[in-house]
């Protein structure tokens, strides 16, 4: 993954949106993990979070944007999401700010479309900032819970497609 890879992944998700929802095109979780790891926002490699308990993440790393109601449940069971929806500021002046929406995805049934949109749109916004090459500024500005939400959305989509 490089500074343009996140935007390319977002573009691919946009192009394959309907095929993914129709289960004709499979989302590759490894590619999303690579994008998340490239951002270096989370303290550990992305794949290590899925089986981590909600309590462990909440106490050690969360920025407390996600609702994590079951201390003993793994993070991959989390139904809550934080969507990256906008970026403001000037990267070349080391001043950017991401804004977020709170987006639960089970109402009462799982919505693959909602997770796909969250993933696609979040990667598009983050990719626009990352493509400037100022990865340290992007890393500092991004919410850990929002980046974790990208992982949770991708993981749930892959499980749903199976």
Given this model, what pLDDT does residue 53 score?
97
For 139, counting Cβ atoms within 10 Å of its Cβ (0-12 exposed, 13-18 middle, 19+ buried), the class is middle
Let me know: does 160 contact 111? Beta carbons within 8 Å: no
The structure tokens listed for 48 are: 């290590």
Helix, strand or coil for residue 85? strand
Task: Determine the Cα–Cα distance for residues 32 and 38; give it in Å rounded to an integer.
Answer: 10
Q: Is the pTM of this model over 0.85?
A: yes
Q: Please list the pLDDT of the chain residue by residue as tens digits (162 residues).
A: 888 999 999 999 999 999 999 999 999 999 999 999 999 999 999 999 999 999 999 999 999 999 998 999 999 999 899 999 999 988 777 789 999 999 877 777 889 999 999 999 999 999 999 988 888 899 999 999 999 999 999 999 999 999
């Amino acid at each position: 993954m490089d500074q343009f890879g996140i935007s390319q992944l977002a573009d691919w998700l946009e192009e394959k949106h309907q095929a993914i929802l129709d289960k004709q095109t499979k989302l590759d979780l490894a590619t999303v993990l690579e994008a998340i790891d490239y951002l270096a926002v989370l303290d550990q490699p992305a794949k290590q979070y899925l089986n981590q308990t909600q309590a462990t993440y909440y106490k050690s790393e969360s920025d407390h944007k996600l609702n994590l109601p079951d201390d003993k449940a793994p993070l991959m069971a989390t139904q809550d999401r934080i969507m990256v929806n906008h970026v403001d500021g000037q990267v070349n002046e080391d001043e950017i700010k991401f804004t977020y929406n709170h987006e639960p995805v089970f109402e009462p049934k799982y919505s693959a479309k909602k997770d796909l949109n969250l993933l696609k749109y979040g990667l598009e916004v983050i990719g626009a900032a990352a493509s400037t090459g100022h990865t340290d500024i992007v890393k500092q500005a991004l919410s850990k819970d929002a980046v974790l939400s990208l992982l949770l959305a991708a993981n749930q989509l892959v499980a749903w497609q199976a």
